[in-house]
Amino acid sequence: MKAHAILAKEFIADEARTDWHDETLWFIRQKRDKAAHTLPEWEQLRQWASEIKNHTLSKLDEYLVEFENNARQNGVMVHWASNGDMHNQIVYDIIRQHNITRVVKSKSMLTEECHLNHFLATMGIEVVDTDLGERIVQFRKEPPSHIVLPAIHLTKQDVSDTFHQHLHTEKGNADPLYLTRAAREHLREKFLEAGLAITGVNFAIAETGGFVVCTNEGNADMGAHAAPVHIACMGIEKIIPKAEHLGVFLRLLARSATGQPITTYSSHFHKPREGQQMHIIIVDNGRSRQLARADFRNSLKCIRCAACFNTCPVYRRSGGFSYHTAVAGPIGSILNPNLDLKSYSDLPFASTLCGSCSNVCPVKIDIHEQLWKWRQVIASEGQVAPAKKLMVKGMAFILARPALYRVAGRVGRWCMRYLPFLLNHKLNPWYRQREMPGPAGRSFRDWYIKNKKQ
Amino acid sequence: MKIGLFIPCYIDQFYPPAGIATLQLLEKLGCEVVFPLNQTCCGQPMANSGFANWSKACDENFINNFRGVDYIVSPSGSCTLHIREHLHHDQNPGEAERIRHTVFELTEFLTDILKIEKLDARFPFKVGLHNSCHGQRGLHLSSMSEKVEPPFSKPGKLLAMVEGLQLTLPSREDECCGFGGTFCVFEEALSVKMGKDRIKDHARNNIDYLTATDSSCLMHLEGILRRQKSPVKIIHIAEILNAPGNG
pLDDT digits (tens, 9 = 90+) for B136-159: 999 999 999 999 999 999 999 999
Asked whether the beta carbons of A32 and A261 are under 8 A apart, the reply is: no
CB-based contact (8 Å) between A275 and chain B?
no
SS3 of residue B75 by DSSP = coil
Q: Which pLDDT does position A439 carry in this prediction?
A: 80
Alpha-carbon distance A451 to nearest alpha carbon in chain B (angstroms): 10
In one-letter notation, the amino acid at residue A363 is: V
CB-based contact (8 Å) between B151 and chain A?
no
- Among chain B residues, the shortest Cα distance to A355 is held by B137
Question: What residues of B are in contact with residue A317 (Cβ under 8 Å)?
Answer: 190, 193-194, 197
Q: What would the mean pLDDT of A18-24 be, rounded to a whole number?
A: 98
Most A-contacting residue of B176, B182, B184, B224 (CB-CB within 10 A), to test interface: B176
Residues 330-389 of A with CB under 8 A from B: 349-356, 358-360, 372, 375-380, 384, 388-389
Alpha-carbon distance B178 to nearest alpha carbon in chain A (angstroms): 6
% pLDDT > 90, chain A: 95
Interchain pair B48, A351: CB under 8 A: no
Cα separation, B83 vs B93, whole angstroms: 13
- Among chain A residues, the shortest Cα distance to B175 is held by A313
Asked whether the beta carbons of A315 and A25 are under 8 A apart, the reply is: yes
Alpha-carbon distance B205 to nearest alpha carbon in chain A (angstroms): 19
Q: What would the mean pLDDT of A262-287 be, rounded to a whole number?
A: 97
Question: What residues of B are in contact with residue A381 (Cβ under 8 Å)?
Answer: none
SS3 of residue B211 by DSSP = strand
Asked whether the beta carbons of A83 and A116 are under 8 A apart, the reply is: no
Q: Which pLDDT does position A422 carry in this prediction?
A: 85
Cα separation, A416 vs A437, whole angstroms: 9
Interchain pair B190, A392: CB under 8 A: no
Q: What would the mean pLDDT of A172-182 be, rounded to a whole number?
A: 96
Cα separation, B217 vs B199, whole angstroms: 12
Cα torsion A27, A29, A32, A38: sign: negative
Q: Which pLDDT does position A63 carry in this prediction?
A: 98
Question: What residues of B are in contact with residue A445 (Cβ under 8 Å)?
Answer: 7, 12, 35, 37
- Among chain B residues, the shortest Cα distance to A5 is held by B187
- Among chain B residues, the shortest Cα distance to A45 is held by B148
User: Quick one: pLDDT band at residue A454, thresholds 50, 70, 90?
Assistant: low
Q: Which pLDDT does position B164 carry in this prediction?
A: 98
- Over its length of 247 residues, how does chain B's per-residue pLDDT go in tens digits? 899 999 999 999 999 999 999 999 999 999 999 999 999 999 999 999 999 999 999 999 999 999 999 999 999 999 999 999 999 999 999 999 999 999 999 999 999 999 999 999 999 999 999 999 999 999 999 999 999 999 999 999 999 999 999 999 999 999 999 999 999 999 999 999 999 999 999 999 999 999 999 999 999 999 999 999 999 999 999 999 999 998 7
In one-letter notation, the amino acid at residue A243 is: A
Residue A104 pairs in a beta bridge with A128, A197
Q: What is the pLDDT of residues A282-328, one digit of tens each?
A: 999 999 999 999 999 999 999 999 999 999 999 999 999 999 999 99
- DSSP annotation of B114: S
% pLDDT > 70, chain A: 100
Lowest-pLDDT choice from A51-60, A225-234, A419-428: A419-428
Output the pTM of the full model: 0.97
Alpha-carbon distance B150 to nearest alpha carbon in chain A (angstroms): 11
DSSP string, B131-193: --HIIIIIT--B--TTS-S---BHHHHHHTTSBT-EEE--SSTT---S-TTTHHHHTHHHHHH
Interchain pair A352, B133: CB under 8 A: yes
Task: Centre a 10 Å sphere on the Cβ of residue A454 and count the other Cβ atoms it contains.
Answer: 2
Interchain pair B37, A445: CB under 8 A: yes
pLDDT of A84 strictly over 70? yes
Asked whether the beta carbons of A246 and A201 are under 8 A apart, the reply is: no
What is the ipTM score, two decimals?
Answer: 0.97
Interchain pair A379, B172: CB under 8 A: no
Asked whether the beta carbons of B162 and B121 are under 8 A apart, the reply is: yes
Q: Which pLDDT does position A46 carry in this prediction?
A: 98
> For chain B, what is the total number of helices (H) and then of strands (E)?
13, 8
User: Quick one: pLDDT band at residue A420, thresholds 50, 70, 90?
Assistant: confident
Q: What is the pLDDT of residues A136-171, one digit of tens each?
A: 999 999 999 999 999 999 999 999 999 999 999 999
